[in-house]
Amino acid sequence: MDIQGKRVVVTGAASGIGRALVLAFHKHGASKVVSVDINKADADNTAKEVHGLAIEANVGDEQDIQRVVIESTEWMQGIDIFCSNAGIMGEVGLLDTSTEKWQKIWEVNVMAHIFAAKAVLPQMLERGNGYLVNTASAAGLLTTLGAAPYTVTKSAAVSFAEWVKITYGEKGIGVSCLCPQAVRTAMTKNGPGVAGVDGMIEPEEVAEEVIKAIQSETFLVTPHQEVLEYVKRKANDRDRWIAGMQRLQKQFEDFLTPQK
């Protein structure tokens, strides 16, 4: 899909990858971009840089996402590209993670993608074209040591994106799933931890990879190229992969132990 002249919505746009995506779409010729975030003040700042619209919303709330789609559609007369980018890290561990905290990360990291697709797909299918970008993580393809909720929800996010592409891909709907490792954002401000074994990259680099993926209609976006090799190793010998991850876990034992 050509970015030129497209109408775009980006969630999680107050900072990090979301903000970089808004700026990248504007740079590559999008006609209008909507910045969505629960942090309205910073979403406003992002929107001002591209003469866009900022909308405050909790992406884990279906009514909020429906409102985002309605307001964005009214302002832009339609939505061509919807980037469901917002996400949270959640808790480290399993045994001390409450059901309520599991539910919160599930709503933001998984249901937000589902809510967005349900709300925006009807107009895209009616036109016969549209594009969804769902931000997951390399954790969704591999795993995240220590963080059970993050691993599970990001895996679900990848699976949902695949399902949408399989189901609607031949009906004019493009889908890309973003799966980076460590990116310099608020989520990694205390250090990238295990995810940083292959280095930390900037949000702007990630945004440019997303633009390329949309232009070429590539499903899997892996800014860290090492991830593709890891995926192959995991698929070829799952037991060997798990044993290697167990060894890696021992190296990061202190970092992975939940603080009391």
Among this protein's residues, is 168 annotated catalytic?
no
pTM of the complete model: 0.92
| Alpha-carbon distance values, 64 to 60, 134, 183, 202, 203 (Å) | 8, 18, 27, 29, 26
The architecture that CATH gives domain 7-256 is 3-Layer(aba) Sandwich (3.40)
Domain ranges for the chain: 7-256
Q: Give the C-alpha separation, 235 to 212, whole Å.
A: 26
In this predicted model, which residue has the larger pLDDT, 213 or 198? 213
Range 59-63 average pLDDT: 98
Cα 7–chain centre separation = 19
Which tens digit of pLDDT belongs to each residue from 134-166? 999 999 999 988 889 999 999 999 999 999 999
Highest mean pLDDT among 45-54, 83-92, 186-195: 45-54
Which tens digit of pLDDT belongs to each residue from 24-43? 999 999 999 999 999 999 99
Q: What is the DSSP letter of 110?
A: I
Residue with tokens 């202190």: 254
Catalytic residue among 131, 150, 168, 230: 150
Range 173-184 average pLDDT: 92
Query: What's phi and psi for 175, nearest 5 deg?
Result: -140, 130
In this predicted model, which residue has the larger pLDDT, 252 or 211? 211
